[in-house]
Chain A
Amino acid sequence: MISRIPVTSARSLPEAYALLEKPPPGLRVLAGGTDLMVQLQARVGLERIGHVLDIWGLRELRFVDRAEGLLRLGALATYGDLRDSPLVRERLPALAELSREVGARAIQSRGTLGGNVCNASPAGDTLPLLIAAGASFVVGGPRGERRIAADQFFVAYRRTALAPDELFLRAELPELAPHERLVYRKVGTRRAQSISRTLLALRGGALGGRLAGVRVAAGGVAPVPLRCRLAEAALEGRPVDALAVAAARAALEGEIRPISDLRGSADYRREVTGNLLARLLPELAG
Chain B
Amino acid sequence: MIELVLDVNGAERSARVPPLRRLLDVLREEFGLTGTKEGCGEGECGACSVLLDGELVNACLVPACQAQGAKVVTVEGLARPDGTPSTLQRLFLERGAAQCGICTPGMLLAAQRFIDLGATPTDEAVREALAGNLCRCTGYSKIVEAVIEAAREARR
Residues of A within 8 A of B (CB): 2-5, 7, 9, 30, 32-34, 37-38, 40-42, 52, 54, 56-57, 80, 100, 103-107, 109-110, 191-193
* Chain A CB within 10 A, most for which of B41, B57, B60, B133: B57
In this complex, the member of A33, A57, A193 whose beta carbon has the largest number of chain B beta carbons within 10 angstroms is A33
Complex Cα–Cα for A242 and B151 (A): 49
The verdict on A110 contacting B62 (CB below 8 Å), with A34-B43, A105-B129, A193-B44 known, is: yes
Nearest residue (CB) in A for B128 is: A192
Task: Determine the distance from Cα of A54 to Cα of B46 in the docked complex, in whole angstroms.
Answer: 24
Taking a contact as CB atoms under 8 Å apart, the answer to whether A7 and B20 are in contact is yes
| Complex Cα spacing A33 to B59, Å | 11
Is B110 within 8 A of A105, CB to CB?
Answer: yes
The count of residues in chain B whose C-beta lies closer than 8 Å to any C-beta of chain A is: 31
Nearest-CB residue, chain A, relative to B18: A3
In the complex, residue of chain A having the shortest beta-carbon distance to the beta carbon of B54 = A109
> Does B61 sit at the interface, judged by CB under 8 A?
yes
Asked whether B132 lies within 8 Å of A193 as measured between CB atoms, the reply is yes
B22–A37 CB distance below 8 A: yes
* A41 and B42 contact, CB distance less than 8 A: yes
Asked if A106 contacts B20 (CB within 8 A), the reply is no
From the candidates B44, B46, B61, B128, name the one contacting A110 in the complex (CB within 8 A): B61
Interface check B49, CB cutoff 8 A: yes
Which residues of A lie under 8 Å from residue B71 when comparing CB positions? none
Q: Please, which residues of chain B bring their CB within 8 A of the CB of A193?
A: 44, 131-132, 134
Chain B residues with CB below 8 A from A3, complex form: 18, 20-21
Give the complex CA separation of A105 and B61 in angstroms.
13
Residues of B within 8 A of A104 (CB): 46, 128, 131-133
Q: Is the beta-carbon distance between B18 and A107 smaller than 8 angstroms? A: no
Cross-chain contact B43 with A106 (CB below 8 angstroms): yes
